[in-house]
């Protein structure tokens, strides 16, 4: 079927063309947003990692189950801290930018150092402030969790 200049365009042809045009525009918009986010947040050497900002301090909280005392302590990245018989080291701490929903995550390594014994690895992994039980430390006497990440990365 050949159309002439003054012939009306069939509805099905118009609808198919409109859908293809809309799909192409939507795909272009999504791709441009993905590439923009990747360019802004995915640069190496940047303080941004994905949608998280690297920080230089982690605020942790610990519970001694025998005395029911809660302690709050702040550790710099790669600094060792102690809580009871635990040796805690934070390798990384990241938080969301202020424009995103609040979330902090820290990569924490925990050793148990008993008197007269070698330290044993108890935990190594990411802890999330919004879900402390998601990836938690398993210890009969102590609980440790992340409260927040603070301080700019220098």
Quote the pLDDT of residue 152: 78
Q: Give mean pLDDT, residues 131-140.
A: 84
Cβ–Cβ under 8 Å, residues 128 and 105: yes
More confident residue, 9 or 80: 80
pTM to 2 decimal places: 0.65
More confident residue, 24 or 85: 85
- Residue 153 phi, psi dihedral angles, 5° rounding: -80, 125
Cβ–Cβ under 8 Å, residues 95 and 55: yes
Tokens of 149: 């990440």
Quote the pLDDT of residue 36: 46
Positive or negative torsion for Cα 115, 118, 120, 121: positive
Q: Where are the domains of the chain?
A: 1-41, 48-152
Cα radius of gyration (the chain): 26
Residues 6+ apart with CB under 8 A from 149: 55, 57, 58, 59, 93, 94, 95, 104, 105, 106, 129
Q: Which of 119, 117, 146 is nearest to 131 (CA)?
A: 146
How would residue 9 be classed by pLDDT, with cut points 50, 70 and 90? Answer: low
How far is 153 from 93, CA to CA, in rounded Å?
10
**pLDDT tens digits along 28-61:** 656 555 554 444 444 444 455 568 889 999 999 9
**pLDDT tens digits along 64-112:** 999 999 999 999 999 999 999 999 999 999 999 888 888 999 999 999 9
């Amino acid at each position: 079927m050949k159309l002439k200049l003054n012939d009306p365009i069939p509805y099905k042809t118009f609808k198919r063309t409109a859908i293809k045009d809309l799909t192409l525009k939507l795909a272009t918009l999504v791709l441009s947003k993905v590439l923009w986010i990747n360019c802004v947040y995915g640069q190496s050497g940047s303080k941004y990692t994905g949608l998280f900002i690297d920080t230089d301090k982690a605020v942790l909280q610990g519970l001694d189950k025998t005395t029911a005392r809660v302690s709050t302590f702040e550790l710099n990245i790669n600094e060792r801290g102690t809580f009871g018989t635990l040796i805690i080291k934070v390798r990384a701490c990241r938080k969301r930018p202020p424009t995103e929903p609040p979330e902090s995550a820290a990569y924490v390594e925990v050793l148990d150092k008993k008197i007269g014994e070698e330290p044993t690895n108890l935990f190594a992994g990411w802890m999330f402030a919004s879900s402390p039980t998601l990836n938690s430390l398993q210890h009969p006497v102590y609980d440790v969790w992340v409260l927040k990440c603070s301080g700019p990365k220098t």
